[in-house]
Structure 1
Amino acid sequence: MFTPPQLFKNPIILEPEEHKNLRIFKPLNYSFMSGVEMIPLGYSEILPATIYYPVFFGMAEGFVLPFVVLGVQGKNPYLTKEGFFKIDFIPKLAQLYPFGLVYLKEGEQENFLVAVDEENTYTDEGEIVFTENGEETAFFSEIKQELTQFALDLKKAMEFGQKILEIGCINQTSFVMNGPLGRAEFKNVLIANIETLRRLQPEKLYYLNTAGYLPVLYGAYFSIRNFKIFELLYAQTIEIF
């Protein structure tokens, strides 16, 4: 689930015995993001992401998760022709690629498993993941630490999404956007709705405030205006090419 198909062509779960000879090559730029239109966010990413991107929520496997819209029609206006982001904020999942996470839930048990895009695996070049004895290399241990922190952030994002859904601060909608990148149809997405805040019971509003959720909600609500940034960035892309 945290290996979006537009980004991860063939995600595989890493196993010490099976992948002892596996080497990983981390891309030198973000050109692999050129056709990626959406990507999930951790909780700590939501507010900074709303400065530059439209941020929505989606339902998957019974829970709610925030995501950013990076482009439409397979075009990502946030990238330069050299494959670098034009803006300061880069989603964590893009930074971690080709590593990602697979979320599994069985009853009350929840697990995040480390996955990698097989498109970036080799046997003769790149960084080794496991030693001959099946132990993690220093390279992979460092990556796992980052993935662990990201998993915790994703879990917090899922809890946030579920809570604001229960309170009624996000609504399901569908809409069509026409712009310089073409026509894009968004079906059954969840968008932040701050209008409900005026009707909330005081204790619920107090909870949203003390939990730090209010600024995140407002940021997501106003982020829909960032579709305008698509036009500005795309105009720059036209000039570059």
Structure 2
Amino acid sequence: MKAIMKAFQRAVALDSSIHRNLKVKLPENYSFMENVEIVPLTYSEILSATMYYPVMFGVQDEVVFPFAVTGINGKNVFLKKNGTWKIDTVPNVCRHYPFGVFKEADEYTIIFDETYASDDGERLFDDEGNDTEFFSSIKQGLTELARDFHDAEECSKELFNGGLLKTLNLDVDTKLGKMQFRNMLIANIEYLSRLQPEKLYSLNSKGYLLILHAHYLSLRNFKLFDIFAEL
């Protein structure tokens, strides 16, 4: 994923030479998400995300990707005061923080938020620069995350190039205030209704048809913001 989540305060690319002695203390809860309003989604979580979050598609540097709206005006409505999540559907990228992946061209790089460097944390590399057992486990999860992001981008690209996504400008008004979305992408339901059966079959066999409908209907979840804000 090329977009770096807002939670990253000092994101750096990990290097076994530069960060040979780096120690990391993982966060105890999701309080780092307090001010995050938008989270990029991986392919495997799009459908589950549409149950609670408004899900749309965005474009950055010609890359199309899905994302979930988690808050408004710097307030994450899904986060409790004690740093726990209000629902069980937590975006994948949050589960890996303070680590993440950044895509440049066709290469993924592991990034880390330096604010979580700690003298009493776990080492990522041994004295020879090899991955520790602690970091090997994290690295395996990040590899799966990168693959999942890749699948999300491939799905989004096919939908966009096939004319199945159209530009959306949306004004949202909640108890927490107003929010504007400009040049976002949403399912082109009108175009979808005119597709030939064989094209619909192809979309359905890939799981894309369900994603289009679920994401389109997920915009109703902005109505849930007022409810979640009071929990």
Deviation track 1:4-53 (CA, whole Å, cap 9, x = no partner) reads: 2x211111000011101101111000011010000101100100000010
CA distance in 1, matches of 2:198, 2:64: 23
Cα contact 1:2–1:101 (8 A) shared by 2:
no
Secondary structure of 1:79 counterpart: coil
CA distance in 1, matches of 2:15, 2:24: 14
Deviation track 1:129-180 (CA, whole Å, cap 9, x = no partner) reads: 0111000001111011111111111000000001111122211111211111
User: 2:56 aligned with 1:56, yes or no?
Assistant: yes
Q: Which residue of 1 aligns with 2:39?
A: 39
CA distance in 2, matches of 1:27, 1:209: 40
Deviation track 1:105-150 (CA, whole Å, cap 9, x = no partner) reads: 1xxxx1111000111113x121110111000001111011111111
Q: Which residue of 1 aligns with 2:97?
A: 97
Deviation track 1:203-228 (CA, whole Å, cap 9, x = no partner) reads: 32121011111111111010000001
Secondary structure of 2:214 counterpart: helix
Q: Which residue of 2 aligns with 1:164?
A: 159
Post-superposition, which runs of at least 4 consecutive aligned residues in structure 1 deviate over 3 A? none
Which sections of structure 1, spanning at least 5 residues, go unmatched? 237-241
Letter in structure 2 aligned against 1:15: D
Q: TM-score, normalization: structure 2?
A: 0.97
Deviation track 1:60-107 (CA, whole Å, cap 9, x = no partner) reads: 1211100000001000110111011110100111010000111011xx
1:138 to 133, 139, 161: 133
Cα contact 1:2–1:100 (8 A) shared by 2:
no
Q: Which residue of 2 aligns with 1:197?
A: 192
How do residues 1-241 of structure 1 correspond to structure 2 at under 5 angstroms? Answer: 1-4=2-5, 6-105=6-105, 110-122=106-118, 124-236=119-231
Which sections of structure 2, spanning at least 5 residues, go unmatched? none
Q: CA deviation at 1:202?
A: 2.8
Cα contact 1:130–1:137 (8 A) shared by 2:
yes
Cα contact 2:3–2:60 (8 A) shared by 1:
no
Letter in structure 2 aligned against 1:111: E
Secondary structure of 2:88 counterpart: coil
Identity %: 43
The number of equivalent residue pairs is 230
Cα contact 1:100–1:116 (8 A) shared by 2:
yes
CA distance in 2, matches of 1:146, 1:195: 39
Q: CA deviation at 1:2?
A: 4.2
CA distance in 1, matches of 2:3, 2:130: 25
Cα contact 2:13–2:109 (8 A) shared by 1:
yes
Secondary structure of 1:113 counterpart: strand
CA distance in 2, matches of 1:167, 1:206: 14
C-alpha RMSD of matched pairs (Å): 1.0
Q: CA deviation at 1:194?
A: 2.5
Secondary structure of 2:85 counterpart: coil
Cα contact 2:9–2:115 (8 A) shared by 1:
yes
Q: Which residue of 2 aligns with 1:239?
A: none
